[in-house]
Amino acid sequence: MDHTTQLQKLKQEAISAINDSPNSKQLEQIGVRFLGRKSKLTGILRNLKDIDPESRKQVGSLANSIRQELTSKIEVKLAKHKLAELSASIQSDKLDLGLPAIPSLPAKVHPITTERAIIEDIFQRMGFTVHQPYLIDDEYHNFTSLNIPEGHPARDMWDTIRVDENLVMITHTSSMQNRLISQVKESGKPVRAIVPGKCFRNEATDATHEHSFFQIEGVYVDKGIKLSDMIGTLSEFLNQYFQREVPLKIQPTFFPFVEPGLEIMMPKPGTGSAEAEFDPETTDWMEVIPCGPIHPNVLKEAGVDPEVYSGFAWGLGLERLIMIKKQINDLRYFHSGRIDFVNQF
């Protein structure tokens, strides 16, 4: 076969392939097959010197014109393919760019944070200042100054976590009492303070016990403070916190730093509605606020004369109070680190 016939045949083959190409990718491969480095057409153009001089010019010019024609046909067909492919993908993706983005939830505040703020606010409105405890403190502040002497069996009431020779992780926010009451002597003014803070005990954890938990301490020292002042202050606090009149009962208990030691009790929340009908005959009571008039030894140790000054103190469990208000049945949720818990508030 002579070159001219060969070239015509190649041209028909190529045009046919180009027209039959199903997509842009296949077309690009066809382009390589017919116009690439290893294609027959390129081979002929390279080896023109091997052809006799009379037909060389003719073959060369035909080959070049075929090449130009194929290149432009490929270009056109490729453009057609690409356009068709683009509209197909627009149809199939159905991506509506006009819609708003998938919402990412803003962070939720942990109930300990919100409820603590509510409680601080209630007491601040009553004239109490808010203080932070040292989470690690010395034995004097955590025990000795609170009428809990070294070597005394009363120390066994707390499963203390020791840090060093003389340092402990605070077992109660009462560790700040000595410092706060000392201000009375220095300033001559009464002290009214609350201390929200984290406390630590070597406890086995269960539905009502944790090793790390929050307390809110309260101290009020002035001249002429009476037991009725304490009951009035704390019952008003409970009414404000629960946003209703909370029935109360008071029962004796024991702590070395108050005398008498008392527990303020409220009715156990019933199943179902948060405010069950209160019936004094059948109600089940639970402790909420351990409290009491400050023991004279604690006042004396803080430099205050118990014959002149008196006061009261309390230490309520924050998680416990929240569990009552929000009907949470397991204390361990609070410090579990579970986002699905926090998201419910």
Interface ranges with another protein (CB under 8 A) = 154, 249-254, 256, 261
Measured from the CB atom, is 123 or 314 closer to another protein? 314
CB of 341 to another protein, least distance (A): 33
Measured from the CB atom, is 45 or 250 closer to another protein? 250
Lookup: tokens for 194: 């609350």
- Distance CA(171)–CA(261), nearest Å, equals 18
Lookup: tokens for 123: 């007491």
- Distance CA(280)–CA(290), nearest Å, equals 21
CB of 311 to another protein, least distance (A): 20
Measured from the CB atom, is 128 or 255 closer to another protein? 255
The residues pairing with 134 across neighbouring beta strands, listed in sequence order, are none
CB of 157 to another protein, least distance (A): 9
CB of 324 to another protein, least distance (A): 20
Measured from the CB atom, is 182 or 253 closer to another protein? 253
Measured from the CB atom, is 71 or 251 closer to another protein? 251
SS3 helix, strand, coil % of the chain, rounded to 5? 45, 20, 35
CB of 130 to another protein, least distance (A): 31
SS3 204: coil
The residues pairing with 289 across neighbouring beta strands, listed in sequence order, are 264
Measured from the CB atom, is 51 or 154 closer to another protein? 154
Q: Given phi > 0 = left and psi -120 to 50 = alpha, else beta, which region is 337? A: left
Lookup: tokens for 316: 């309520």
Place of tokens 């030691």: 261
Measured from the CB atom, is 137 or 263 closer to another protein? 263
CB of 284 to another protein, least distance (A): 13
CB of 175 to another protein, least distance (A): 21
Q: Which of 40, 29, 37, 53 is nearest to 5 (CA)?
A: 40
Measured from the CB atom, is 240 or 297 closer to another protein? 297
- Kind and range of the H or E run holding 49: none
Measured from the CB atom, is 265 or 342 closer to another protein? 265
- Distance CA(107)–CA(66), nearest Å, equals 68
**Alpha helix stretches (DSSP H) within the chain:** 3-20, 24-35, 40-46, 53-93, 111-125, 139-142, 177-187, 227-242, 296-301, 318-326, 339-342
Provide DSSP, 94-155. Answer: ---TTSPPPPPPPPPPPHHHHHHHHHHHHHHHTT-EE----SEEEHHHHTGGGT--TT-GGG
* Phi then psi dihedrals of residue 337, to 5 deg: 80, 15
CB of 314 to another protein, least distance (A): 17
CB of 112 to another protein, least distance (A): 29
Residues counted in the chain: 345
